Amino acid sequence: MSLRYLLQRLSTLLLVLFGVSVVAFSIQPLVPGSPARVRLGVQATEENVRILEEQMGLNRPLPVQYADWVGGIVLRGDFGDSLITRTSITDEIVRRLPATLALAGVALLIGLLIALPLGITSALKPGGKRDLSASVVSQIGVSIPDFWMGILLILLFAETLGWLPSSGYEPISEGFFAWGRHVLLPALTAGLISGSIMTRFVRSALLEVLGMDYVRTARAKGVGPRKVLTKHVLRNAAISIVTIIGLQMATLLSSVVVVEIIFAWPGLGSLALTSTLQRDYPVLQAALLMAAVAFTVINLLTDLSYVLLDPSIEYA
């Protein structure tokens, strides 16, 4: 892998971020409603709306607002202040990022713990009893809406059994145990769904490889089933599996909004939702940018991992 390749990928990242920032900004005039009205509520007078919009800088031409905003990020690493709470957006992102990473990371782990064994066992004997039950389980997992799953898990583990807290987040600095107790239910909610999706991908990736000539050859040579699986099948299916893991991770980072709302989880997803509802444009734009960064970085990592998995892949 060359330095040139890395630089090329980084410049793509910047280009993507630029594109996202322009799109995130252009939404503003298209959406009805104004943050000034949200702050004033039903008691808004036209005069107060005008004064507040001026104070918020919303009546300046859009390119000027854009330049001001991007300038703040590039020059000072500062996303500005929320129009609604008037608190620092950078602080907010820094505070919420670990929560989002924890939720997505643990959810992915749970998802993999489900998807790998289920996917492998069902691919080994397609159409068998295990395959059938695995596909029933994953079908159920895919069909259950996350808000419902979340509520069911809360009813069972928090209310009935009293083992886990019903909602909320503890940073890992408060101790691993407290952190783990809080992350488990939301991660389980997102992870069960994510695991169900991944099960089907793992199964089909393995089936594809299992049908290859070299697998048949290996079997004909008398290689045992376990060795066929580990040496020939999994290694060759790894690229497809890593690709789907990358996509799932990116999805988890940006799409766990509902899970975050249900579990009062202070992540970037609930921040994006609240700021959308309140028309808190700078916060929303910051959240969108962070999601874009997450997507591109994870894509890059996925691509880079191909090199490790398949020596024939080389990035020049």
Residues that bind another protein (CB under 8 A): 32-35, 37-49, 51-52, 55, 82, 84-87, 92, 95, 151, 154-155, 158-159, 162, 165-169, 261-264, 266, 270-271, 274, 277-279
Query: Looking at this protein, which amino acid is placed at residue 291?
Result: A
Closest to another protein by CB, 84 or 244: 84
Give the nearest distance from C-beta 294 to another protein in angstroms.
19
Closest to another protein by CB, 158 or 215: 158
Give the nearest distance from C-beta 164 to another protein in angstroms.
9
CB atoms within 10 A of CB 148: 12
Closest to another protein by CB, 43 or 173: 43
Helix axes 268-277 and 89-124, enclosed angle (nearest 10): 120
Give the nearest distance from C-beta 276 to another protein in angstroms.
9
Give the nearest distance from C-beta 80 to another protein in angstroms.
14
Contacts by residues 139-143 (CB-CB < 8 Å, ≥ 24 positions apart): 139/196, 140/196, 141/114, 141/192, 141/193, 141/195, 141/196, 141/197, 141/199, 142/193, 142/196, 142/197, 142/200
199 vs 193: CA distance, rounded Å: 10
Closest to another protein by CB, 34 or 199: 34
Residue 281: enclosing H or E segment and its boundaries? helix 281-309
241 vs 257: CA distance, rounded Å: 25
Closest to another protein by CB, 33 or 117: 33
Going by C-alpha positions, the residue among 257, 229, 240 that lies closest to residue 198 is 240
Indicate the burial class of 61 (C-beta count within 10 angstroms; 0-12, 13-18, 19 or more).
exposed
Closest to another protein by CB, 79 or 169: 169
262 vs 168: CA distance, rounded Å: 9
Give the nearest distance from C-beta 37 to another protein in angstroms.
4
Give the nearest distance from C-beta 76 to another protein in angstroms.
18
Give the nearest distance from C-beta 56 to another protein in angstroms.
10
Closest to another protein by CB, 65 or 274: 274
